[in-house]
């Protein structure tokens, strides 16, 4: 790919661009690569970039044959505009995506003075704490196994409201640019959260979500998942294509934080209506499910932040950045996750992973991450009894 040929030069440019990374920003109130504001502040425009460069090293067993890979996980260019006090526009394009449309966000949003907002376009659906957490704010390189049972970005409309202690959102959607074998002709999603404590370092969070899908005219679906890495396209658990009329996700989430310590857990149940191998079968209702538990510790002492608008954990910003003579922020994490894609007559397999990781946030622009992912077990499917391990690392540059 052309972008891969010039990637090293792009990385060097972003690292040493004046006003970027280890240098002081040109404008204290501008977190993006380029900012513009009219004299009366009626029109404001920002353009930013996000680059994630990954390396994966695999320890195979007798059941697997992974190849060590470099991967440009994300190479995004985003732009947003604020028009007056209430209207905003957002557009994000990912140059690292080859197999599907690279448009990520493309929406218009109206936000009232009481934090009620109406969004139309292409964006994330309201479901799941982990899913709604920005990738640049996650404690791990990839979302957990159970993230498969969450809806992707879609085309639709959403009504959302939030306060300091709760959020509520609901919307109607159809398949967007993130097309897959689970394309739908119609869907709805909704999520509510309640956080009686929501200050940084003192968080108690609960949430519920539901997402329903009617399948497209082909009525074919497929559920499969990578082993918490994007340095391979191999899936250890895979239902293969089967026929179903609909599927519904139900999610329960909770989180607690005290100072630099944080614990997060989610369980997602998926009900699949009239699953069958071929059209002649009458079909039966089946279910898949999964969960993850995350424990993180910010070793440099910063309190765990919270995002009140999203109802998720927030972005870790170092108290003492490298450019100020500090050591940045250091976060350690451990995650246990499981995904079960087996329910007769579908035998996609069940997988359980243990992930440990360390992230060094040098400043608000640059971070380095390393992880060890161990597949504890795979039951059923082509890779039954497989237990490979993965060492992976990431350089992330955001502006």
CATH number, domain of 323, equals 2.40.160.10
Structural domain range at position 203: 50-72+125-398
CA distance 54 to 371: 11
Assigned domain for 97 exists: no
pLDDT of residue 181: 59
Q: What is the pLDDT of residue 21?
A: 44
CB atoms near residue 267 (< 10 Å) = 17
Q: Let me know if residue 392 belongs to a domain.
A: yes
Residue 290 lies in a domain: yes
Q: Which of 354, 344, 359, 362 is nearest to 387 (CA)?
A: 354
User: Are 118 and 86 spatial neighbours (Cβ–Cβ below 8 Å)?
Assistant: no
Residue 13 lies in a domain: no
Total structural domains within the chain: 1
The answer to whether residue 94 is domain-embedded is no
Is residue 88 in a domain?
no
pTM: 0.91
Q: Per the domain annotation, does 11 fall within a domain?
A: no
List per-block mean pLDDT (blocks of 10 residues) for the chain, which spans 399 residues: 51 50 48 84 92 96 92 93 95 80 91 96 97 94 97 95 98 82 79 97 98 82 95 95 93 98 98 88 92 98 97 96 93 98 94 98 95 97 95 95
Question: Is 78 domain-assigned?
Answer: no
């Amino acid at each position: 790919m052309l972008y891969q040929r010039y990637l090293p030069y792009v990385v060097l440019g972003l690292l040493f661009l004046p006003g970027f990374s280890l240098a002081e920003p040109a404008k204290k109130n501008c977190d993006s690569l380029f900012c513009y504001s009219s004299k009366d502040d009626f029109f404001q425009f920002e353009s930013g970039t996000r680059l994630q460069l990954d390396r994966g090293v695999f320890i195979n067993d007798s059941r697997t044959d992974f190849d060590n890979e470099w991967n440009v996980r994300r190479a995004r260019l985003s732009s947003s505009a604020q028009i007056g006090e209430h209207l905003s526009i957002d557009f994000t394009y990912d140059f690292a995506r080859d197999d599907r449309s690279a448009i990520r966000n493309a929406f218009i949003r109206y936000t009232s003075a009481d934090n009620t907002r109406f969004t139309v376009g292409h964006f994330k659906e309201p479901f799941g704490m982990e899913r709604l957490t920005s990738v640049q704010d996650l404690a791990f390189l990839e979302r957990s196994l159970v993230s498969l049972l969450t809806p992707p970005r879609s085309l639709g409309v959403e009504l959302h409201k939030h306060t300091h202690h709760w959020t509520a959102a609901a919307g109607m959607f159809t398949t967007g640019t993130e097309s897959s074998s689970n394309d739908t002709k119609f869907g709805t999603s909704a999520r509510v959260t309640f956080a009686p404590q929501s200050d940084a370092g003192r968080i108690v969070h609960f949430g519920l979500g539901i997402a329903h899908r009617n399948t497209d005219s082909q009525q074919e679906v497929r559920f499969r998942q990578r082993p918490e890495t994007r340095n391979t396209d191999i899936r250890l658990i895979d239902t293969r294509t089967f026929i179903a009329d609909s599927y519904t996700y139900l999610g329960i989430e909770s989180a607690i934080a005290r100072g630099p310590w944080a614990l997060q857990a989610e369980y997602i149940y998926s009900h699949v209506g009239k699953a069958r191998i071929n059209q002649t079968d009458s079909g039966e209702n089946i279910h898949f499910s999964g969960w993850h538990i995350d424990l993180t510790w910010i070793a440099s002492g910063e309190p765990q932040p919270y995002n009140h608008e999203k109802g998720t954990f927030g972005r870790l910003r170092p108290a003492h950045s490298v450019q100020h003579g500090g050591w940045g922020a250091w976060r350690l994490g451990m995650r246990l996750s499981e995904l079960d894609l087996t329910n007769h007559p579908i035998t996609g397999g069940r997988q359980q992973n243990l992930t440990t990781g360390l992230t060094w946030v040098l400043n608000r622009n640059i971070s380095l991450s390393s992880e060890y992912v161990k597949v504890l077990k795979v039951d059923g499917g082509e890779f039954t009894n497989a237990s490979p391990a993965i060492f992976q690392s990431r350089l992330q540059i955001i502006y």
